[in-house]
Amino acid sequence: MRAVATIFWKEFKSYFISPVGYVVLTGFTALSGFLFYQFLGVFIRVTSLMRGLMEKGQVVREWTLVDDLMEPLFKDLGLFLIIMVPAVTMRLFAEEKKLRTEELLLTSPVRMGSVVLGKYLAALALLMLMLVPAGVYLIIVLVYGTETDTGTMVAGYGGLFLIAFSLAAIGVFSSTLTENQIISFFVCVVMNLFFFTVGLAGNSVQTITLFSQKINFGELLRQLSLMEHYNNFVRGMINSADIFYFMALIVFFLFLSRFSAERARRS
Amino acid sequence: MIEVEHLTKFYGENRGIDDISFSIGKGEIVGFLGPNGSGKTTTMRILTCYMPQTSGKAKVAGFDVETHAMEAKRKIGYLPEHPPLYMEMTVRSYLGFAGRLRGMDRKKIKQRTEEVVATCGLENVASRIIGQLSKGYKQRVGLAQALIHNPEILILDEPTIGLDPKQNADIRALIKGLAGNQTIILSTHILPEVSLTCQRVIIIHQGKIVADSRLEELTKDQDLEHAFLKLVGFEQEEKN
């Protein structure tokens, strides 16, 4: 545990010694603020024209702040994370390899598991710092909006954290693969995109038969997708299955990272 | 303190070291000598548990490096060929980090940091960022890192490479100053260095030990350079 704390503090501090921490924090806040401003502007314009979705002169569904402002906002912020998270995680192991400082870690009496965990937690801490200001949009809508569903919005906001935590685990893993931070960044982006979009393929895949068992392959792909589980949160549904999915993804990639980082000494 | 038996390491098809055996007693300073690529670094990396051997056994302070790596690592201070320095840290915070990695407590770290800063002559630069230091100072910070937990065994991989003669002499004096308390293995391909610091020499060539004796014996009827060249098979080439 001490080793985890040692690695955590070293990594967390180095985010703020190098420009990475500041760039990520201001970058995300500026982008998300701009997005919120745009979405809110469009929402106000649309609602001033008509109160809801019209069909044959009748309002069939009213526009609401939760469904038509916060839900698309959270979805887009989730997409932002596809590139923000790798920017945070890309250096964690790649830099150690490049500067050959991993020789210090590998010859010190610490377990690789502790190193991976310490680095992962440092990335989480920075990501939390990055996401906390986004809570302001939630507060603005709650304070100034009417007929808002607090629970749904908080679930969506919480989902955003879970997405960030999952992508960070993928990012730590891709950082162990190479000594080049740019490659680490892009490998992570590609893996993130895969986990976001794999569910979309589910709609066009039929049931397949494997070992005379009928398997709903489309459903399988959808269940594998981050987006599918995240959307449940955004819609305000918190299932233990979704939480389990995120946890499993994190644990899986952290184990993979440990394995991959250990392999470095065997080459 | 260090026992190595039939140690062999393959890199894929290539042989890094081939069936080497030696043992080093407490307080000895041993020079590890050999041309580039002869297997010096490989041997040191196995002893420091950086990578596992293909076959054979190695024990450090009584602990097998394969089965009791954690205990063995605690006993060793290691300066790799390329000092593992975090360029954005200050010298003091880096030494603190290295100390915490070795499981030292806060008080001990504070005390030892001041001690190694003094031993390695880092007083003037202790609060500076490592990335801004000269090569000689960086090397000394690397050495300070290896000393911070007062290890019983010190493994130094080419500690004086790329230093100017003055810095070179400083580091040599430093290593000599440590003699007696610590068991030291240092690798080099700079011959005068060995004769100035070491009591015993192990010469390794193409992954095999070609000589292991006290310095006086090796240099009894010829100087070290000729003895070395003869052992690594360069003599004939010289004559031609």
The 10s digit of each residue's pLDDT in B65-99 is 888 989 999 999 999 989 999 998 999 999 999 99
Minimum distance, in Å, between the CA of residue A93 and any CA atom of chain B: 13
Per-residue pLDDT at A144 exceeds 80: yes
Mean pLDDT of chain B: 86
Residues of chain A contacting residue B60, judged by C-beta atoms under 8 Å apart: none
3-state secondary structure labels for all residues of B80-103: CCCCCCCCCCEHHHHHHHHHHHCC
pLDDT of residue A257 exceeding 70: yes
Q: What is the pLDDT of residue A253?
A: 96
The whole-number average pLDDT for the span A241-256 is 94
Chain B residues within 8 angstroms (CB to CB) of chain A: 11, 48-52, 70-71, 73-74, 76, 78, 80, 82, 84-89, 97-98, 100-103, 145
Residue of chain A nearest B96, judged by CA positions: A6
User: What are the φ and ψ backbone dihedral angles of B63, each rounded to 5 degrees?
Assistant: -105, 130
Taking the model in full, what pTM does it have?
0.90
Place of tokens 């299955």: A241
Instruction: Write down the ipTM of this complex.
Output: 0.87
CB A82 within 8 A of CB A197: no
pLDDT of residue B238: 47
Residues of B in contact with A106 (CB under 8 A): 49-50
Choose among B74, B88, B103: nearest Cβ to A14.
B88
CB B207 within 8 A of CB B66: no
pLDDT at B222 over 50: yes
| Cross-chain Cβ contact B101/A110 below 8 Å | yes
Q: How far is B53 from chain A (nearest CA, A)?
A: 9
Q: Is the pLDDT of residue B239 over 70?
A: no
Q: What is the largest CA-CA distance in chain B?
A: 62
Q: Hey, is the C-beta of A201 within 8 angstroms of any chain B C-beta?
A: no
Residues of B in contact with A102 (CB under 8 A): 84
Question: Does position B32 have pLDDT exceeding 70, yes or no?
Answer: yes
Confidence at B240, pLDDT banded by 50, 70, 90? very low
Would you say A72 and A39 are in contact if contact means Cβ atoms under 8 Å apart? yes
> Which domains does chain B show, CATH number per domain?
2-239 (3.40.50.300)
Residue B101 contacts residue A108 (beta carbons within 8 Å): yes
Give the pLDDT confidence of B151-184 residue by residue, as tens digits.
Answer: 999 999 988 876 778 878 888 888 888 777 789 9
> Which residues on B lie below 8 Å from A111 (Cβ)?
70
Report the C-alpha gap between B168 and A246 in whole angstroms. 55
Spell out which residues of chain B touch residue A266, defining contact as CB-CB under 8 Å.
Answer: 51-52
Span A173-221, pLDDT tens digits: 999 999 999 999 999 999 999 998 888 887 777 777 677 777 777 888 8
Whole-number pLDDT of residue A202 = 76
